[in-house]
Chains A and B, each alone.
Chain A
Amino acid sequence: MTKILLRDKLDDCLTRWHAAGFDVVGPVRKNNISQYATVKKAGELDLGIILPDRTLKDLFFPQTEPMFSYRISKQKIDTEEYLPPGRQRIIFGARACDASAMAIDDPLFGWDYQDTYWFKRRNETVIVTIACTAADEFCMCTSLKLAPDSTQGSDILLRPLGDNRGWQVEELTDRGREAFSRIEALLEESPAQTAALADVPIKFDLDLCREWLQNPENFESHFWKEISMRCIGCGTCTFLCPTCHCFDFQDEGDTYTGIRRKNWDSCSFALFTMHTSGRNPRSTQSARWRQRIMHKFNYFPGKFNLNSCSGCGRCTRECPVDMGIIETLQEITKLSQ
């Protein structure tokens, strides 16, 4: 006997969570794009999809974020700091790859400096993940040693029931337990069987790839040029990646008054490494692609013992020229065999 949450109780859950002061966020399809967005009613949630087009990082690390405003006068400099609005949130229906991605980025944002914006939102959010029963040809969590029911980054894991009437509830953290105590009365005890998880075949050998990437001889390999020849250097694969976290600061306004903002940036852009002198140490797209792969599968694991990839597959699914990391890592696996 385990605890289950029935689908038809979802509206009542939302009412109780709203009453307890939580915003409820989940996958929503609107305006021809699916993303995690705030909902009022359960009917707005689009839980039947494989995964949303946009990622969970949008909710913790938005594409543009005001940090403070400044006003400089002869006598003094006034600043006003902006902090994310302090709202408790429940994300209902995250995917395991997206939730894992948040756990992957936690050490990054808390390494030499605690990123206030990231951790404030992380601490105010309960992530309720639904394990996947379907995957597409780009899903690759298993290649990253994760799974459709990985628990990293999640506060609650829901396993779909075989009859699709609801989910088996697995409470993972105190924050999750606290949120679910609000809907305790709506949960049931049941012996119902859970549905089979999505079958996600392993696409490359991560350990072999890491070994190859660690070998300094391969840094200048012709492979990088060949594999990235068609890359057009856009921001699609980085901006739609739940773990990519690079940003840039921009002062909007003039010398005397304005706003400092933190904006997404991408290692795929030529401008990313451009010096003020005009010299660009990563002057070719192949050097930029190498950086992306090296960072995710060599440097990041070297520093944090985690791959900076949760296998959501968006980089490959959405790349306008059909690149993405799957092929690159498959080719590296072949090279190192």
Chain B
Amino acid sequence: MSIQEQYRKKAAELLSSGEVKLVIGYGSGSTPDRRRALFARTADDAALFHVDAACDANLSGYLVNEGLLSDKKKIGIFLKPEGIRSVNILAAESQLDPDQIVILGFTEENGTVSGLQGTQASDFTSLMTALKENRTTSEKEQALVDKIEAMTPQERFAFWQAEFEKCIKCYACRQVCPMCYCKRCIVDNNQPQWVHTSSHTLGNFEWNLVRAFHLSGRCVECGGCDRACPVNIPLRLINRRMANEVLDAFDHFSGMNQNQEPVLASFKKDDPETFIL
């Protein structure tokens, strides 16, 4: 049985047995190569799920939709490893109770998907360790990273200025991100107005810097923001750089487990103090 068949069956069982009230997965999209979130409430709906290489979205953000988990009932959800990491972070930050989440985990490599053993976020600890040890970047991506790293600060500033000038402040990068669950984002606060709401170069810089910092050590590199950005700003490069920083400085790999402390909100005696004069 293909992984898709197995998971359709599993989702149908979860729903018909009443173990979960809802399964969030992937259904067909508006074109043959698109997949979109599908919310299944019955075993019949579960027959519409897809599990294949086109299922790229990290669906975990839907879990924290207002009121969805407040009845204490369980929800099933299709997640890739990055999605499982997001669930760990949401649990660590008290946004959800991981016992309410039944995971249908899968992973994709070179266009082939395979299922992951386990149903609870805590079942995937060894996977997380392996992911931390084997962080990979495609050759093409690495070439771009190297190019940017080799730039002088002035050149790098010019590069990002040209990118951020394109930003239209649609906040798709924020809305799509499972880690951006704040009821009121700092950029939406106007008493005081911390960040310019205007989408001019300064305002765009401010927004993108706020996003980068607030996601340092929390971003799981699911790529959602990068795919969502309608003006194609390479947000993944920022995410990767920040992830590297926290890994190098604090040995912090976001979403390892549900007890992980947020790296920028916790203090350890042996934290490096390279930037404190």
Given contacts A31-B162, A64-B203, contact A321 B30 (CB under 8 A): no
Task: Judge whether B176 is part of the interface by a CB distance below 8 angstroms.
Answer: yes
The answer to whether B197 and A250 touch across the interface, beta carbons within 8 angstroms, is yes
Q: Which residues of A contact B266 (CB under 8 A)?
A: none
Indicate if B29 sits at the interface (CB-CB under 8 A). Answer: yes
A235 touches B171 (CB 8 A): yes
A122 within 8 A of B: no
Q: Which residue of A lies closest to B172 (CB)?
A: A234
A236 to B170 Cα, complex, angstroms:
6
CB pair B30 A264 closer than 8 Å? no
> Which of A239, A261, A320 interacts with B168 by CB under 8 Å?
A239
Q: Tell me, rounded to whole Å, the shortest Cβ–Cβ distance linking B42 to chain A.
A: 14
Query: Which chain A residues numbered 323 to 337 have a C-beta less than 8 Å away from chain B?
Result: 323-324, 326-327
Instruction: Kindly provide the distance from the CB of B258 to the nearest chain A CB, expressed in whole angstroms.
Output: 25
Are B231 and A230 closer than 8 Å at their CB atoms? no
Count class of interface residues, chain B = 35 or more
* Set B163, B168, B172, B176: member contacting A63, Cβ < 8 A: B168
Docked CA distance A316–B176 (Å): 16
Flag whether A19 is at the interface (Cβ < 8 A). no
Main secondary structure of the interface of B (DSSP, over half): loop
For B230, list chain A residues within 8 Å (CB): 53, 236, 239-240, 318, 320
Question: Could you list 13 further interchain pairs (A-B, Cβ under 8 angstroms) beyond the known A234-B171, A321-B57?
Answer: A53-B230, A64-B199, A229-B37, A232-B172, A233-B175, A234-B174, A234-B175, A236-B170, A236-B230, A239-B230, A250-B197, A322-B34, A322-B36
Hey, which bits of chain B sit against chain A, CB under 8 A? 29-31, 34-37, 39, 57, 61-62, 162-163, 166, 168-172, 174-176, 188, 196-200, 203, 224, 227-228, 230-232
Selected A-B contacts with CB under 8 Å, 24 pairs: A31-B166, A33-B166, A53-B231, A64-B198, A137-B30, A230-B37, A230-B62, A234-B172, A234-B176, A235-B171, A236-B170, A240-B170, A240-B230, A263-B199, A264-B168, A271-B188, A316-B30, A320-B172, A321-B37, A321-B176, A322-B30, A322-B36, A324-B30, A327-B30
